Structure 1
Amino acid sequence: MTIDEAITLFGRECEAIWLTQPEEIRVLSRGESVQGVGSRGQYLTPLIFAEGTARSLADETLWVIHLMCDRPDTDLATLKVMISELVGRKAGFFELFGLEHAAGLVRTYIGLAQTAQDLAELQRLTDAALAYANRVHVWLDAAFPWGVCTGFMRAGYGTRNADGLEMGAKS
């Protein structure tokens, strides 16, 4: 596969999950994963880690690679090693949580990044992978049971003081 073919692939994959939740995320979000990860029979922690992995892949790792490609002083060979190591860890986490399709696409990015001839080519590939990673993150974020967080409210939040102001709210 060429870099241009991968860019097209990432575009198709992003479009496919634009309005339709990926099956592997649905499976993870319902605790139906065959991997059985999660301590003591629960599946909340894998969902937390998967969401965090997707967020850090898109919002930090791939975004920083995009920015580094704009810097003329960036060494392409060093950036390729960083991609292999940093992004490779994200793919490993996706596999652990049963997100094997997403992990495979991330590994496609890693492999083809190693063939990039210059920073501009690497940036084009990174931008395509970033769009896909952002969409995966959106679906994991949407699948996250945010209501569980109400069990961790700060003491006094939601109550009113003598002036009628809500405690914990900014004035």
Structure 2
Amino acid sequence: MVAQAEIRREVGTVAEVIAEINRARDAIWEVPPQEVLDLCSGVVPRGTGAKNNYLSTMIFAENELRTLTDEILWFAWVTATRNSDADLATLVSYMDEMGQYKANMNDYVGLPEAGEVMKLYVGGIRKAASLAEFADLTESVMTYMNRVHGWVDIGFPWGLVNGFKRINPLRRISDAQQA
């Protein structure tokens, strides 16, 4: 487990944070970031990996990014955009904690630049004065993290799973009935 270090990054205005995150996203839109290329080649800055392998680190990176983008950021964005009575302070408090955790975890699994973008987001949401600003920040970082996740997903050695095929459960039931 990654130690939870509180993130206190000074940032500019909400608009400036969104612009910085969008620039980071644009920089990796057509070509994967170096940290993803490194991760997919076994270069992990912290040396993270079980039994001296980096596959486990890639599994964690893929999973952490998926839960961040498809669940945590999506939930926060949907809450802010579809519930006009949502409490901004509660959303910020929740996403501050989750963002800090995910920033540290991104760093741990070999994606320190993605972790820095999450730190930037955390600093930005602390300045959000409305649900709209919170939603705009969340949408911006969600798009960036989705792109990072896409690159990790493309580089993931999915062919390895062919060695772990399971028997179709329906076939097992049918075979048991015939025995």
Cα displacement string for residues 104-126 of structure 1 (whole angstroms, at most 9, x for unaligned residues): 11011011101100101111111
Q: In the alignment, which residue of structure 2 is the partner of 1:167?
A: none
Whole-angstrom distance in 1 between the partners of 2:128 and 2:57: 33
Tell me how far 1:155 sits from its aligned partner: 2.7
Report if the CA contact (8 A) 2:48-2:110 is conserved.
no
Are 1:118 and 2:130 matched, yes or no?
Answer: yes
Q: In the alignment, which residue of structure 2 is the partner of 1:33?
A: 44
Are 1:73 and 2:101 matched, yes or no?
Answer: no
> What do you get for the CA RMSD once the two structures are aligned?
1.5
Cα displacement string for residues 18-74 of structure 1 (whole angstroms, at most 9, x for unaligned residues): 111110111111112231111111111110111111111111111111111121221
Determine helix, strand or coil for the equivalent of 1:131: helix
Q: In the alignment, which residue of structure 1 is the partner of 2:145?
A: 133
TM-score (norm 2): 0.84
Tell me how far 1:156 sits from its aligned partner: 6.3
Report if the CA contact (8 A) 1:92-1:103 is conserved.
yes
Report if the CA contact (8 A) 2:64-2:102 is conserved.
yes
Report if the CA contact (8 A) 1:28-1:98 is conserved.
yes
Determine helix, strand or coil for the equivalent of 1:63: helix
Determine helix, strand or coil for the equivalent of 1:66: helix
Moved over 3 A (4+): none
Whole-angstrom distance in 2 between the partners of 1:137 and 1:87: 16
Name which of 71, 86, 91 aligns with 2:103: 91
Count of paired positions: 158
Q: In the alignment, which residue of structure 2 is the partner of 1:59?
A: 70
Are 1:146 and 2:158 matched, yes or no?
Answer: yes
Cα displacement string for residues 152-171 of structure 1 (whole angstroms, at most 9, x for unaligned residues): 112369xxxxxxxxxxxxxx
Report if the CA contact (8 A) 1:76-1:119 is conserved.
yes
Name which of 27, 31, 54 aligns with 1:16: 27
TM-score (norm 1): 0.88
Whole-angstrom distance in 2 between the partners of 1:7 and 1:80: 16
Amino acid at match of 1:16: A
Q: In the alignment, which residue of structure 1 is the partner of 2:14?
A: 3
